[in-house]
Amino acid sequence: MSEPRPGDFAGVHTALVTPFTADASAVDLAALEAQVLFQASGGVAGVVPCGTTGETPTLTAEERRAVIRSVVAAAGPLGLSIVVGAGSNSTVSAIEYSAEAADLGATATLQVTPYYNRPSQEGLFRHFWSLADAARVPIVLYDVPGRSGVGLAPDTVVRLASHERIVAIKVANGSVGYVSELVQRCDLAILSGDDPLTLPMQSVGAVGAVSVVGNIAPGEVARQVAAANRGDFAAARAIHERLFALSNGLLGLDGNPVPIKAAMAILGRDTGVVRPPLAAAAESTRGAILELLSSAGIEGPAGGVTGSRSVGMR
Q: Which residues are annotated as catalytic?
A: 142, 170
Q: Is 158 helix (H, G, I), strand (E, B) or coil?
A: helix
Closest to 42 measured CA to CA, from 226, 269, 214: 214
Which of these, 279, 273, 309, lies nearest to 22 by C-alpha position?
273
Q: Are 271 and 21 in contact (CB under 8 A)?
A: yes
Q: Of how many residues is the chain composed? A: 314
How many angstroms separate the first and last alpha carbons of the chain? 35
For residues 304 and 267, the answer to whether their CB atoms sit within 8 Å is yes
Helix (H, G, I), strand (E, B) or coil at 211: strand
Handedness of CA 172, 103, 132, 184 (dihedral sign): negative
| Residue 275 near residue 257, CB atoms below 8 Å | no
169 phi and psi angles, rounded to 5 deg: -140, 135
- Name 241's Cβ contacts closer than 8 Å, sequence gap at least 6: none
Alpha helix (H) residue ranges in the chain: 29-42, 61-75, 91-103, 121-134, 145-148, 154-160, 176-185, 198-203, 218-229, 233-253, 258-266, 283-296
Residue 144 φ/ψ region, left for φ over 0, alpha for ψ in the -120 to 50 degree band, beta for the rest: beta
In the three-class reduction of DSSP (H, G, I as helix; E, B as strand; rest coil), residue 301 is classed as coil
